[in-house]
């Protein structure tokens, strides 16, 4: 192989409601990339175990994410849609990476610090090692591109560090077995086994903020449901949440320099720009100088127009869980075949097989 085939991989956790942040920051990009790349999209149910969901919540959550993928327009025939637990090779490679990644690297992960809170001694080992499993999700397919929101940036840097260290540590055997691709590390060219994955984090929607606090990320786990728009919210819910969204008394600025110190205004304009697939500048050209009493109803109308068809299709799909399970099972078989190819090589490279 002289270079890595372009391949997109991404995942979403089946925990809680999917939000507008997940949709605009990730899923909508997944849909767009289907036209130009081979794509693998995963419901990461093993990751969800880190927050100890009830078994039924995990089962329902897995189906809901799969339904959201399909309802948003992901094609499970041309591409691959599956759940992580169906492909044991993710866990196997994660163990290899547990032995590659250093404690110091994981200690720096801000998401772990946020999620573990003050009582770190009591956090699960799974939550700490989570980024290693994430690296395995991506690299078990030797994926080259990963569309995500801004909050996953640090995890993707770690994925690159793990790939680099693996490539360096096993460079001689990779060359001897002729399994690598020439790549530069420092001023040396080696045969590396894993690609150095590129994150795809761009556009106005990489970080959608809470509707109640423009300095906090919109999140599935925020205790206040008013802080987020869920993909399954009704038109009335969406309108109510936007009406109640925190703002300030000033009209919208004429250009983006006027967002200084106005995170809530910036967030609502970002959302409008992302939903209408234009830029913040274009939105401000239309609404600059207007009051929120004008802008909010326009935003609510746009959000309902874009999200209601997805919510309707999700409900239709969720009414037939057998169909969703069958789609995931087929995707799991296809993903397993690809992952096993990588693991045959990895077992040889590290010496677990000859
Ligand atoms: P998760 O399930 O928390 O979120 C799924 C995707 O949604 C993006 N996202 C947002 N984007 C913009 N604004 C927001 N407010 C917002 N909230 C969430 C996330 O960045 C993510 O892209 N660790 C991952 C799942 C994962 C994964 C992977 C992703 C596991 N393995 C391999 C990529 C590749 C996570 O917890 O995402």
**Per-residue pLDDT tens for 127-154?**
999 999 999 999 999 999 999 999 999 9
Instruction: Examine the domain organization and report whether 57 and 119 are in the same domain.
Output: yes
> Of 1-5, 28-32, 66-70, 72-76, which gets the smallest average pLDDT?
1-5
Does residue 344 sit within a domain? Answer: yes
Which residue has its alpha carbon closest to ligand 1 atom 34? 10
Catalytic positions are 115, 217, 220
pLDDT given at position 204: 80
Across 197-232, b (16+ Cβ under 10 Å) vs e yields bebbbeebbbbbbbbbbbeebbbbebeeeebbbbbb
Instruction: Examine the domain organization and report whether 138 and 275 are in the same domain.
Output: no
Instruction: Examine the domain organization and report whether 300 and 155 are in the same domain.
Output: no
Q: Which residue has the tokens 């956790």?
A: 13
Report how many domains make up the chain: 2
- Residue 147 CA, ligand 1 centroid: distance in Å: 9
Instruction: Examine the domain organization and report whether 194 and 254 are in the same domain.
Output: no
- Residue 199 CA, ligand 1 centroid: distance in Å: 12
Are 10 and 146 within 8 A, CB to CB? yes
Model confidence over 18-63: pLDDT tens digits? 999 999 999 999 999 999 999 999 999 999 999 899 999 999 999 9
Does the beta carbon of 83 lie inside 6 Å of ligand 1?
no
Distance, in Å, from the CA atom of 116 to the CA atom of 118, rounded to the nearest integer, reads 7
Does the beta carbon of 50 lie inside 6 Å of ligand 1?
no
Across 23-59, b (16+ Cβ under 10 Å) vs e yields bbbbbbbbbebbeebbbbbbbbbbbbbbbebeeeebe
Instruction: Examine the domain organization and report whether 30 and 137 are in the same domain.
Output: yes
Residue 42 backbone phi and psi in degrees, to 5: -125, 135
Instruction: Examine the domain organization and report whether 68 and 156 are in the same domain.
Output: yes
- Residue 148 CA, ligand 1 centroid: distance in Å: 6
Record the tokens describing residue 12, joined without a space. Answer: 């979403």
Calculate mean pLDDT across residues 78-86.
98
Instruction: Examine the domain organization and report whether 310 and 333 are in the same domain.
Output: no
Q: 26 vs 80, 193, 218, 219, 254, CA distance in Å?
A: 16, 27, 13, 13, 29
Q: 153 vs 49, 74, 90, 120, CA distance in Å?
A: 22, 23, 20, 22
- Residue 245 CA, ligand 1 centroid: distance in Å: 23
Does residue 3 sit within a domain? Answer: no
Does residue 126 sit within a domain? Answer: yes
Mean of the per-residue pLDDT values of the chain: 96
Would you give the distance in Å from CA 347 to the centre of its chain? 28
Instruction: Examine the domain organization and report whether 22 and 168 are in the same domain.
Output: yes
pLDDT given at position 327: 98
Give me the CATH number covering residue 269.
Answer: 1.10.240.10
Q: Which residue has the tokens 């799991």?
A: 332
Mutate to test the pocket of ligand 1, among 148, 209, 221, 271 (most ligand atoms within 8 A of CB): 148
Instruction: Examine the domain organization and report whether 174 and 311 are in the same domain.
Output: no
Does residue 283 sit within a domain? Answer: yes
Quick check: 215 pLDDT over 80? Answer: yes
Could you tell me the pLDDT band of residue 1, with boundaries at 50, 70 and 90?
low
Instruction: Examine the domain organization and report whether 254 and 334 are in the same domain.
Output: no
Instruction: Examine the domain organization and report whether 133 and 192 are in the same domain.
Output: yes
**Region of residue 220 (left: phi > 0; alpha: psi -120 to 50; beta: else):** alpha
- The set of residues, in sequence order, having a beta carbon less than 8 Å from that of 73 and lying 6+ positions away, is 31, 34
Instruction: Examine the domain organization and report whether 261 and 277 are in the same domain.
Output: yes
Does residue 2 sit within a domain? Answer: no
Does the beta carbon of 29 lie inside 6 Å of ligand 1?
no
Could you tell me the pLDDT band of residue 74, with boundaries at 50, 70 and 90?
very high
Could you tell me the pLDDT band of residue 103, with boundaries at 50, 70 and 90?
very high
* Dihedral sign of CA atoms 25, 30, 31, 32 in order: positive
Give me the CATH number covering residue 16.
Answer: 3.40.50.620
Could you tell me the pLDDT band of residue 323, with boundaries at 50, 70 and 90?
very high
Element (H, E) at 286: helix 280-287
Could you tell me the pLDDT band of residue 17, with boundaries at 50, 70 and 90?
confident
Domain with 291 in it: 225-317
Does residue 209 sit within a domain? Answer: no
Does residue 213 sit within a domain? Answer: no
Element (H, E) at 128: helix 125-139
Does residue 162 sit within a domain? Answer: yes
**3-class DSSP state of 33:** helix
């Amino acid at each position: 192989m002289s270079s890595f085939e372009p391949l997109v991989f991404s995942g979403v956790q089946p925990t809680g409601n999917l939000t507008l942040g997940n949709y605009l920051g990730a899923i909508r990009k997944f849909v767009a990339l289907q036209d130009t790349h081979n794509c693998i999209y995963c419901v990461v149910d093993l990751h969800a175990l880190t927050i100890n969901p009830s078994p039924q919540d995990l089962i329902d959550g897995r189906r809901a994410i799969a339904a959201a993928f399909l309802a948003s327009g992901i094609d499970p025939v041309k591409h691959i849609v599956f759940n992580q637990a169906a492909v044991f090779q993710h866990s196997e490679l994660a163990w290899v990476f547990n032995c590659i990644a250093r404690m110091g690297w994981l200690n720096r992960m801000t998401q772990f610090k946020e999620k573990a809170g003050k009582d770190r001694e009591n956090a699960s080992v799974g939550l700490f090692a989570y980024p290693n499993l994430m690296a395995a999700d991506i690299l078990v397919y030797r994926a080259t591109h990963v569309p995500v929101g801004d909050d996953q940036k640090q995890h993707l840097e770690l994925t690159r560090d793990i790939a680099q260290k693996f490539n360096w540590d096993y460079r001689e055997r990779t060359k001897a077995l002729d399994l690598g691709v020439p790549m530069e590390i420092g001023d040396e060219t080696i045969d590396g086994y894993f690609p150095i994955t590129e994150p795809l984090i761009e556009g106005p929607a990489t970080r959608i903020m809470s509707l109640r606090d423009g300095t906090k990320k919109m999140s599935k786990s925020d205790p206040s449901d008013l802080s987020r728009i869920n993909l399954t919210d009704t038109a009335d819910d969406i309108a109510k949440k936007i009406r109640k969204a925190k703002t300030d008394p000033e009209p919208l600025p004429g250009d983006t320099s006027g967002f200084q110190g106005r995170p809530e205004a910036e967030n609502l304009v970002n959302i409008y720009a992302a939903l209408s697939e234009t830029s913040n500048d274009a939105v401000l050209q239309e609404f600059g100088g207007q009051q929120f009493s004008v802008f909010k109803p326009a935003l609510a109308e746009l959000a309902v127009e874009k999200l209601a068809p997805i919510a309707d299709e999700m409900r239709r799909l969720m009414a037939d869980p057998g169909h969703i399970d069958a789609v995931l099972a087929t995707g799991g078989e296809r993903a397993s075949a690809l992952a096993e190819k990588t693991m045959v090589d990895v077992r040889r490279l590290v010496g677990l097989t000859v």
